Amino acid sequence: MANVAKRQFDAVIVGAGGAGMRAALQLSEAGLKTAVLSKVFPTRSHTVAAQGGISASLGNVQEDKWEWHMYDTVKGSDWLGDQDAIEFMCKTAPEAVIELEHFGMPFDRVESGRIYQRPFGGHTANFGEKPVQRACAAADRTGHALLHTLYQRNVRANTQFFVEWMALDLIRDADGDVVGVTALEMETGEVYVLHAKAVLFATGGAGRIYAASTNAFINTGDGLGMCARAGIPLEDMEFWQFHPTGVAGAGVLITEGVRGEGGILLNGNGERFMERYAPTLKDLAPRDFVSRCMALEVLEGRGAGKNKDHVLLKLDHLGPEVINHRLPSIREIAIKFAGVDPIKEPIPVIPTTHYQMGGIPTNYLGEVMVPKGDNPEVRVNGFYAAGECACASVHGANRLGTNSLLDLVVFGKSAGDSMIDFIKRERPVHKPLPENAADYSLSRIARLENQTGGEEVNDVRSAMQKTIQLRAGVFRNSENMALGVKEIAEVAERAKRTQIKDKSKVWNTARIEALELDNLIEAAVATMIAADARKESRGAHSHDDFQKRDDDNWMKHSLFFNHDRHLDYKPVHTKPLTVDYIPPKERTF
């Protein structure tokens, strides 16, 4: 097939959000020749939209311990999180956040000069006793502050960015080792082979499989699609977080930090309904729980508004000073997207798809682990993943607010360190590329080029989003999910025949959207099949026909294999690194 230009690096990182840039820093500062590919300029990555904070038991405002943070995270995960990875993340959190501060991140401060911390959902002191202020914040722009700081630090480290390049496929050799990626330079439309000793995926989530999502247009699960096509399974894809407070109608995120600062949820009768469901944590219970309560209020006819289809987030009682100082962007978003000024009126909100708990299976070192024979976790040589695209698994069946930004920097760094170590000890020279390494990607592009009688990308994407929205929502049931499995298989067939009118080379966004749909569809199929199979309710997977958590049969991770669409399962890691196992118990708040 065609002659494709090749470039060689020690390491290739796909994605320049928080995880990709934290890893890049590690590799650049170690002097490795590193290429960071991103579909968008780095500071436009979706990390930029994170608002409320990054968790760490600094104890700047109230006494806190990483063991409490670990307990909250395990409980928040509904005991699907791997306790070794959770211990690693929570124990590392304080140094990771202090490091960001040293990098120059503009955190808010308390009088002592230390970082300001606010309460957040599911964050408690003394193993669930009472709320604690653990979320380190830069107003309500923590993701922006973090992402820009990491970009700036990478400018200092001379990191080589390939801006507006889209990775197409993973290159694996005959041993199954990862030796590079193919990628499309958007400006020219040229395909390249990037040959590497180690590859990191930090490609973010696939939130755009849903019709209503807080996610950016770019969150198309590219890493998941590339893995699925290359025979790497996807873990726990049935678990999607619905954020309680998306702006009704618009989907734009309103941070949980609003409730952290004292905001409350009201139903159509003006009742603070969370007091009924969660007497201790009230509005600051974890997200899966609050979202279900909100959805119940609406389903039972206690919604607000003309159509009683949402609830209200009230914060006017915080006063203009707190709102303008701590939540300035929320005010801006409410005015722009909900048409209300929260200083005077409540914001109409509704649970909205926000975060993918599942993803590419990794351990806490960022190494991608897949089953082989009887061993459920064997390393894929040369392949790493971190951030939302990865499943370490620290979030299990439900992520705690502010643990996402923490995940990015903790596992971005550990993956970077693992890559440095791997390159030094095991892969000092490049493994050869397989012959015709770009053929598969080129054939996908040629298919698009030559497709006739196909369907428009937008129509197929809309059908996918409608299906997932309807069949894999906050409340799920057997009948609905079985229909979803059938419907999404049909949509996946249609996705094989998408057609674009634009055939030009330069900045062809029609082609990019078609290639993105190829990735989305893999995530959508995995989501539907894994959801349909799980006969219990756990975290964000709430099953009407199996309303209880079933630890005997289902305390296990799902693994979806794309080639024949079968599921496999692997055990949850119940052994923390140093502390005692936290055994399952009932989750009340």
| Minimum CB–partner distance for residue 509 and another protein (Å) | 5
Least separation, in Å, of the C-beta of 43 and another protein? 6
Residues making up the chain, counted from first to last:
589
Between 352 and 537, name the residue whose CB sits nearer to another protein. 352
CB of 329 to another protein, least distance (A): 8
Can you state the angle between helices 142-156 and 83-103, rounded to 10 degrees? 70
Which two three-digit tokens encode residue 401? 């607010």
Count helices and strands in the chain by DSSP H and E runs: 16, 24
Return the closest-CA partner of residue 446 out of 522, 503, 495, 516.
503
Strands 117-125 and 264-266: unpaired
| Torsions phi, psi for 522 (to 5 deg) | -65, -40
Residue with tokens 């923490």: 406
| Catalytic, out of 141, 287, 331, 549 | 287
User: DSSP letter string over 419-468?
Assistant: HHHHHHHT-SSPPPPPTTTTHHHHHHHHHHHH--S-EEHHHHHHHHHHHH
Separation of alpha carbons 532 and 528, rounded Å:
6
114 is written with which tokens? Answer: 């230390």
Both structure tokens of 169 = 């496929």
Q: Cβ 141 to another protein, closest distance in Å?
A: 6
Residues 70, 582: contact at Cβ < 8 Å?
yes
Collapsing DSSP to helix, strand or coil, 29 comes out as: helix
**369/460 with CB nearer another protein:** 460
- Minimum distance, C-beta of residue 178 to another protein, in the bound complex (Å): 27
Report d(CA 415, CA 384) in Å as an integer: 6
What is the C-alpha separation between 204 and 387, in angstroms, rounded? 6
**CA gap 410, 94 in Å, rounded:** 10
As measured in angstroms, the least distance from the Cβ of 499 to another protein is 10
Look up residue 541 and give its DSSP letter.
B
Across the strands, what pairs with 36?
A: 13, 161
Please say which residue, 129 or 502, places its beta carbon nearer to another protein: 502
Question: What is the nearest approach in angstroms of another protein to the Cβ of residue 292?
Answer: 25
Q: Which residues bind another protein (CB under 8 A)?
A: 40-41, 43-46, 48-49, 98, 101-104, 106-116, 138, 141, 144-145, 148, 152-153, 155-156, 187, 216-218, 249-250, 252-253, 329, 332-333, 336-337, 456-458, 500-502, 504-510, 513
Helix (H, G, I), strand (E, B), or coil: what is residue 381? strand
> The tokens of 26 are what?
């590690």
> What are the phi and psi torsion angles at 499 (to 5°)?
-135, 140
Nearer to another protein, 134 or 144 (CB): 144
Q: Coil, helix or strand for 248?
A: coil
Closer CB to another protein, residue 145 or residue 370?
A: 145
Compute the least distance from the CB of residue 280 to another protein, in Å. 31
Question: What are the beta bridge partners of residue 246?
Answer: 253, 350
272 is catalytic: no
Q: What gap in Å lies between CA 212 and CA 490, rounded to an integer?
A: 21
Strand partners for 171: 180
Residue type, position 499, single letter: Q
Q: Which residues make beta-bridge pairs with 11?
A: 34, 198
Using CA atoms, how far apart are residues 458 and 491, in angstroms rounded to an integer? 12
Least separation in angstroms between residue 434's CB and another protein is: 32
Of 26, 428, 9, 469, nearest to 213 by C-alpha is 469
- Least distance (Å) from another protein to the CB of residue 506? 5
Minimum gap (Å) between residue 218 Cβ and another protein: 5
Check: CB of residue 90 under 8 Å from CB of residue 97. no
* Residue 572: closest CA among 83, 22, 13, 8: 83
Give the pairing of strands 34-38 and 5-14. Answer: parallel
Catalytic positions, written as ranges: 287
